[in-house]
Each structure stands twice: as C-alpha cells, then as structure tokens.
Structure 1
C-alpha cells in the first residue's frame, strides 16, 4: 500500500492545467460513496453549496453507494487533473477497502488530500432495557462466556468491526454481526437481533439516544464527548490502544490534481467548514476541519494499525 503521506505534496508537483487560474468554468462533480439522504450526503450537499457560493458555477453531488465505496473512489482516482471531479472518502473507503481487497483498482496513494471537513466519534450502545448497565457489565459478560454477546456494526470493513476483531485477539471475543449500513444496524439493535451496537455517533444515532431508544455505554474516543459528557471512554475501563474508531472524512481529488487548484480548494475549505449553513447541516460537533498533513498522518497511522490487526488474525 502506498503511504498516504506521500501524496500530500503530489498535488503540488503536478503539471499546471490550462484554465486553472479561472477554475471552475463549468460544473464540478463531487462523488460520494454513500446513498442520498444520509448524514454524509446532507453534509456534502451543504459543503458544495458553500463552494458554489465561493467559486461560482454548479457543484453537484453524485451518490455512488455500494461496492464498499470502491466505484466512487476509482472515479476520483482516475479523474483528470482539472478539478472537475472531486470526492469525499473516509478511512474505510480510502484505506480499509484497498488494503483488504487489492483488486479494487486504487490505493490510498492515488489521491490528493484537500483536508478534513467532518469527523464523527464512535459509541457502544445497548437498548434501554438491556441487562448491561455499564460497559464493565458488557465486558464481564463477554469474558465470562466468549462469543455469546452480539454486537452489530455498519459493515464488515468498518473500523468498529476491526476494533472488535482486535479485542478478540486479546481474549475479549464478541460475536460481531456486520450489517449493510447504519440504518440496518440501528434496526437490528432496536429489534433485539443483536445485544449491542458499535458505530458512529452521528445525528441519526444521537436522535435515538435523545429519544431514549438507545443507551450509550462508552465512546471509543480518547476523551469524553462534549455532547455526551456523562459517557465514559473505553480507556477509562481498561480498553486502550485500539485501532482508531473515529470516522475521519477527507475531501479528495486525483493524485495529479493541478497544484493551483489544490491551493485554492485547501484555502477555502476551512471557511466552508465554519460556515453556519454547513455546521447546521452536519451538526456543529462534527464540523471539524483538519489540515491535509494532519489528516494524512492519521490515515497513514490507521493503515499501519489496520495491517497489524489483519496480520494478527
């Protein structure tokens, strides 16, 4: 796998493209590996509205769900250097999918990373009537009778499933049940198909928590969440040094994206993340801008840890 950090300067090394100074001069396509209507889609549309206001022309979101995100990522990786096809990915689509499925047609080194517009921490949740009142209750049950406690995730290749796999290697063996997405995982927990759920603490999940339909036991973040300060971290209960389960979103272009376009996009992204319309669309706690170098460091660290988890079985 190509190191992510290697592409941080790639956009700056590409040959200039004719018309870059006046970019854009026509519609810009923004490809998402997600279905329409979800939190990522709503956030992307608000982000494109902001870019449209700042740059002019139309910035159009295209949803390409399925294939573990690979079709959408291939489209971005193979786009021309003129900036008219960009996209949004996460460590799952950018790192996990090409690491576990080498035939997908791209690696994490095939992109120019423009910055992070959003990040969503993770939560471990149960139903309100669950016998597991605390994360310690859940861990004790798993350790007493391995594989008897089922935990749903939003996909087999998500960081949540990888973290559960890592815990299994340490002797805390859950019965991991991956679903096709967040809505399916939510339904499984609410319907009693699984005992718990580990997933992103997005707005849809928080709505269920606020309504009293799910009860959070712990967060996978390093620190307690500002919007759920009463929920402890896993580290507070002895679970440390796991693969990172915060979902980091990356605005991306092809590897050889014109350096002048790269510079302009990177310069405008922080302002759009701070834009009230965008923050309202994604939820203020999730509108977190991170510079490209910090983002690529995180993705590279995630990739190293992922390979360790996979190698460990």
Structure 2
C-alpha cells in the first residue's frame, strides 16, 4: 500500500543520511530549477511543489524556470552547459531521457552528459475502459480483443507516450490485440473514451481516477506494484500477472550538469532526500495525483535511467516506431 511505501521512503532516506553537512558552503546563492515543460502542466506543478520544499530545507530560494518545447532539448542543454556547482538543476519526465532520447534526435547523450540525482515523484497510469465496454476486467478485455474480428482501439494522447506504447507493450506481454489511435492531446482522447468512440485508454491518475470514481469509465488495472490508495479496488498489473507493465509508470526526474564534483552531488542528494522523506511533501504530491518516489542514491538512479533507456530502446526498435510514424 502507499502508506507502507511512504514509511519505507522515510526509513531509506534516514539511511542515506537525512541531515548531513552540505559541501563547502553549498548553496551559496539561489538555485535554478529548469523545467522542460510549460507552466501550469503536470511537471511544472510537481517542480514548484518540490522547489518550495527544497527551498525551505536549504534556507535558500529555488527559482523555477520553464523552458518548454523542442522535445525538452533546450531545457536539457541549458542545464548541461551550466556550471556543475549544484546551483542549476533540471526537472523533466524520465521518459525524455529514456524513450524520448530514442525517438528524437538529441544533441547529447542523456546517460553521460547529465548527472542523475533522483526521482521527485512517481506517476503511475491506469488502464480504463468506457462504461459500456463488453468487459469489466483485464482478463476479459484481453480475451475479447483476441476473439474480435479487428483489433481493439485504444485512445492515445500522443505518439511515444505511455498511452501509445502501453497498449503495444500489453500486446507483447499478453497476446492482446490493441491498436493505439493517436489524438492531438489528452482532452479529445478522453472525450472519445467517455463517449464510447474508443473502448479503452491508458492514462495518468489525475485524469483517469475522477472519471473512474464518477462511474464514467471502468478501471481495469494500475501500474503500481501493489494496489494504490489513489484507486482503491483496482488491481495492479503485477497482481494480474503482468509486472512488466510497471515500466509505463512515469517519474519526474532530477538531473544536474555533467561532471558535478562528488561532494556537491552528495550535498545536493542529501537535501533532495530530506524533501522526499517529508510526510508533508508526500501529502502534497498525493493531492495533485502523483506518488512519492523511492529514496535512492544518485548512482542507483543513474543505473535505473540507463536500464530504462536500454529497455525502451529495444522496444522502440522492435515495434519500428519513429516520431513521423
């Protein structure tokens, strides 16, 4: 359950060192938190929440700077080119450094040109079905898709997103026959789902949970390892036999410039972990539809990013996807 996850996070953060001394007077001035997405969006909301808590932890201002567009390249380059002294950080979706780096031609190596620091939050997704769908469970949906004359359409709010790759991944893992239908954004995709134009969709909790709770859709499975307090009664993919679907859970990633000195990385990581262990931070994340991440050291997070990068690279190559597809 989520509360056990929260407790584990706090305990792990304590083990990492919840109140160490910061390196050589860091921070000596306000921090810049560069956000690779527009103001008002989900990443921006998490970034401003994180910046507020980090600023209070440090006793120093953390200024959020939005640099949207360009497939997150401008924001990423800004941080890559910054002085590696711990005063400039990047908040982006983990997918921009993993699947996105395979889809878009980026002028950098996300594994070597950035310093991986931590997750700021986790963003699981739900598989939902329209209210009048002729199935009510994941097993029933898989069986229905296999027996139907044509593939079962799944609404997607954009190419390369979890709503696009998710159905294809489920096909690989279960033998289902889902076919993503690409929309220009979340709103029209959700509208057609609710209206019964398309029968299923994989979507984030912020949008999917209210529709499910209001009875406008059916929730079939969630990508959290266990059932979540945010969607009580919804089985996890792991519980239903498909733990591989958990890789669809997004995370809000924190990076620094390349070649940050070890003492600076240690200080920044310690400050981040103090934020991540704060129950008040967990509560605020929960309120905006995301979950606290695991407490993790920078080397372990770097290994996670690399594993995701390689896994998604293989999958994207396997399905033959390009951004122009």
TM-score above 0.5, yes or no? yes
Residue 110 of structure 2 aligns with which residue?
Answer: 107
Cα 1:32–1:183 shift into 2, 3 Å: farther
Counterpart selection for 1:294 from 264, 288, 300 = 300
1:62-83, Cα deviation, whole Å (9 max, x unpaired): 2233333333222222222123
C-alpha separation between the residues in 1 aligned to 2:149 and 2:252?
34
Residue 176 of structure 2 aligns with which residue?
Answer: 172
Query: SS of the counterpart of 2:72?
Result: helix
Cα 1:75–1:124 shift into 2, 3 Å: same
Q: Is the 8 A contact 1:270 1:289 kept in 2?
A: no
Structure 1 vs Structure 2 CA RMSD? 2.7
Cα 1:206–1:84 shift into 2, 3 Å: same
Q: Is the 8 A contact 1:165 1:309 kept in 2?
A: no
1:126 aligned onto 2:129? yes
The Cα of 1:175 is off from its aligned counterpart by 1.7
Q: Is the 8 A contact 1:161 1:176 kept in 2?
A: yes
Residue 30 of structure 1 aligns with which residue?
Answer: 33
1:64-114, Cα deviation, whole Å (9 max, x unpaired): 333333332222222221233211123311111112223444423221122
Cα 1:145–1:117 shift into 2, 3 Å: same
TM-score (ref. length: structure 1): 0.81
1:101-159, Cα deviation, whole Å (9 max, x unpaired): 23444423221122122112221012333333222232123212365322123432224
The Cα of 1:240 is off from its aligned counterpart by 5.2
Cα 1:138–1:252 shift into 2, 3 Å: same
Residue 312 of structure 1 aligns with which residue?
Answer: 318
Cα 1:179–1:273 shift into 2, 3 Å: farther
Q: Is the 8 A contact 1:111 1:255 kept in 2?
A: yes
Residue 264 of structure 2 aligns with which residue?
Answer: 261
The Cα of 1:28 is off from its aligned counterpart by 1.9
Unaligned runs of 5+ in 1: 1-19
Unaligned runs of 5+ in 2: 1-22, 320-325
Cα 1:146–1:92 shift into 2, 3 Å: farther
TM-score (ref. length: structure 2): 0.78
Residue 156 of structure 2 aligns with which residue?
Answer: 153
Residue 76 of structure 1 aligns with which residue?
Answer: 79
The Cα of 1:26 is off from its aligned counterpart by 3.1
C-alpha separation between the residues in 2 aligned to 1:306 and 1:51?
31
Query: SS of the counterpart of 1:109?
Result: coil
Query: SS of the counterpart of 1:86?
Result: strand
Query: SS of the counterpart of 2:117?
Result: strand
Residue 5 of structure 1 aligns with which residue?
Answer: none
Residue 40 of structure 1 aligns with which residue?
Answer: 43
C-alpha separation between the residues in 1 aligned to 2:59 and 2:184?
37
Q: Is the 8 A contact 2:82 2:257 kept in 1?
A: yes
Q: Is the 8 A contact 2:276 2:295 kept in 1?
A: no
1:245 aligned onto 2:248? yes
1:196 aligned onto 2:200? yes
